[in-house]
A and B are shown apart, each in its own frame.
Chain A
Amino acid sequence: MGALAPTHLQDCYQCGKCTAGCPVAARMDFAPNQLIRLLQLDNSDAALRASAIWECVSCQTCSARCPKSVDCAGVMDVLREFSLDKDKGEVKAAKSQHAVIAFQKAFLDNIRRNGRLAEMELIGLYKADVAWHTGRIGVLFKDAGLAPQLSKRKKLHLLPTKAKDRGVVERIFERCSARRSAHCLGPEKK
């Protein structure tokens, strides 16, 4: 895991500046510096299972402020991606974070089909997924009151414009679906 991260994890000396500036650290089971520590200790299993990696809002504050240039936000991306891989038949990503994961997956599926985001379709399919998998039927009606308000403001598009060349979009997705190669993650700093 450490070798695949786009940064040199052993440079981290646990000053905690990443966590001090993280806007969502209080919601995390492992704070950003603790996640880095887990990886330093080669306990990637705990890091991959952490709900923290899905609480992260990718604001980049941790990476920007790190005195040792550890790209903590980049590490979060790597952890999220790897946590969804099947390892001996098991996906490690935290079950409690189903909503965030479902949203990101629905987003990618959406642009794979349309080339550009179709917002209403995304919202519909995302909500159906969450309701189906969590039994939280209420999610279907949450924010329903916003629809007429968006419509009044001409912000609701039932038939959005799609990209014309959706064939190339599909081929790009296809070519990127193979497990990423190490060099695509950036060179390990020595």
Chain B
Amino acid sequence: MNIGYYPGCALHGSSNDYEQSLRACLGALDVQLQEVKDWICCGATAAHSLNHKLSLALPARNLALAERDGHKELFAPCPLCSMQLLKVQKAIAGNGLRGELAQIVEADLRGDGRVLNLIQIFQNIGLDRLKAAVKTPLTEITAACYYGCLLTRPPDVAHFDDFEQPTSMEAVVAATGAKTVEWSYKTECCGAGMTMANEDTVLDLAYKILSNAAAHGANCLVVACPMCHVNLDMKQEAVNRRYGKKLGMVVYYLSDLVGLAMEISAEQLGIDRHFVTKA
């Protein structure tokens, strides 16, 4: 199966372990990622905070490029990229902005493709197929599935799962033979892009998430977002310093767990490149 792929800046930057994990895991499931040619940044938080029009135009350019490449489905593994793409589609459908946006981005724009997150990719592959591909069930893993914000919010744009009590990630993790826990912070914010400019916020929120997962019996967290991973994994040492703790919570990308269950090595998946590598 070939699918359009919009990596976004993070996956070609310091979150390239996420891309490595995706390619190793999805490749083994015969999903080939076809990168959108000459994609550009979606503008992220900076654009929607400072320039509304730009926050629609930048992702609109990427939607147009994906359409030009013939992709009917576009996989955006970063939930913020994904949300910005979906907002453009909503703006085209609701506000009649198609013509103006097409002019701004110098390309035809239909806005009729399907934008997918990582959980939806696994749903498309089929949970039965995932279960059949498992070689070693992950019986040692008890995971706290962490959705963060933008996989499900705002619900009138995301149209994905229950925005207060989502369960779709748990279903994928269960297919790997791992256990999951019920916990309180699965849709709380990790501080997102404030990692540099407002670190205190990120450390406080990350601490609440990591410690709540541990308190509910999880021995790791699972995410489907590069920023969540940065704040919970890379910043975990700083969280430990601030709170005088040794949390030691491994943070997996969802594709890591599916890959491990298919006996793809931690090195191939890039898990050895995370900051916290031992529980």
Contact residue among B9, B47, B103 (Cβ-Cβ distance under 8 Å from A108): B47
Number of A-B contacts (CB under 8 A): 166
Residues of A within 8 A of B95 (CB): 183-184, 186-187
Residues of B within 8 A of A149 (CB): 275
Residues of B within 8 A of A154 (CB): 16, 273
Contact yes or no, B58 A100, CB < 8 A: no
A123–B39 alpha-carbon span in the complex (Å): 22
CB distance from B275 to the nearest CB of A (A): 7
Given A57-B191, A99-B198, A155-B273: A105 and B105 within 8 A (CB)? no
Contact yes or no, B52 A163, CB < 8 A: no
Contact yes or no, A157 B13, CB < 8 A: yes
Chain A residues touching B, majority SS: helix
Contact yes or no, B49 A102, CB < 8 A: no
Residues of B within 8 A of A172 (CB): 54, 57-58, 61, 104-105
Contact yes or no, A80 B49, CB < 8 A: yes
Contact yes or no, A23 B188, CB < 8 A: yes
Given A57-B191, A117-B41: A103 and B197 within 8 A (CB)? yes
Contact residue among B12, B13, B197, B274 (Cβ-Cβ distance under 8 Å from A100): B197
Task: Assess whether B139 is interfacial by the CB under 8 Å rule.
Answer: no
A156–B273 alpha-carbon span in the complex (Å): 12
Contact residue among A77, A150, A173, A184 (Cβ-Cβ distance under 8 Å from B49): A77
Task: Assess whether A140 is interfacial by the CB under 8 Å rule.
Answer: no
Contact yes or no, B273 A58, CB < 8 A: no
Within B183-202, the residues touching A (CB, 8 Å) are 187-189, 191-194, 196-198, 201
Within A121-170, the residues touching B (CB, 8 Å) are 123, 126, 143, 146, 149-150, 153-157, 160-161, 163-165, 168-169
Task: Assess whether A94 is interfacial by the CB under 8 Å rule.
Answer: no
CB distance from A83 to the nearest CB of B (A): 10
Contact yes or no, A58 B52, CB < 8 A: no
A35–B192 alpha-carbon span in the complex (Å): 22
Closest to A104 in B: B46
Contact yes or no, A63 B154, CB < 8 A: yes
Task: Assess whether A180 is interfacial by the CB under 8 Å rule.
Answer: yes
A171–B58 alpha-carbon span in the complex (Å): 11
Contact yes or no, A156 B46, CB < 8 A: no
CB distance from B230 to the nearest CB of A (A): 10
Type the 1/0 row for A63-105, where 1 means its CB is closer than 8 Å to any CB of B: 1100000010100011011001000000000000001101111
Contact yes or no, A150 B201, CB < 8 A: no
Count of chain B residues with Cβ under 8 Å from any Cβ of A? 59
Contact residue among A24, A155, A177 (Cβ-Cβ distance under 8 Å from B14): A155
Task: Assess whether B127 is interfacial by the CB under 8 Å rule.
Answer: no
CB distance from B7 to the nearest CB of A (A): 10
Residues of B within 8 A of A27 (CB): 201
Contact residue among B17, B44, B194, B273 (Cβ-Cβ distance under 8 Å from A107): B44
Contact yes or no, B40 A115, CB < 8 A: yes
Contact yes or no, A146 B234, CB < 8 A: yes
CB distance from B179 to the nearest CB of A (A): 27
CB distance from A164 to the nearest CB of B (A): 5
State which size class the interface on A falls in. 35 or more
A143–B55 alpha-carbon span in the complex (Å): 29
Within B112-155, the residues touching A (CB, 8 Å) are 149-150, 153-155
Residues of A within 8 A of B (CB): 23-24, 27, 55, 57-61, 63-64, 71, 73, 77-78, 80-81, 84, 99-100, 102-105, 107-108, 111, 115-117, 119, 123, 126, 143, 146, 149-150, 153-157, 160-161, 163-165, 168-169, 171-173, 175-177, 180, 183-187
27 residue pairs bridging A and B, Cβ less than 8 Å apart? A23-B191, A23-B205, A24-B201, A58-B49, A59-B188, A59-B192, A61-B187, A63-B154, A81-B51, A99-B197, A104-B50, A107-B44, A107-B45, A111-B43, A119-B13, A149-B275, A156-B14, A160-B13, A163-B38, A163-B39, A163-B40, A168-B61, A169-B40, A171-B106, A172-B61, A173-B54, A176-B51
Residues of B within 8 A of A (CB): 9-10, 12-17, 38-41, 43-58, 61, 91, 94-95, 97, 103-106, 149-150, 153-155, 163, 187-189, 191-194, 196-198, 201, 205, 234, 273-275
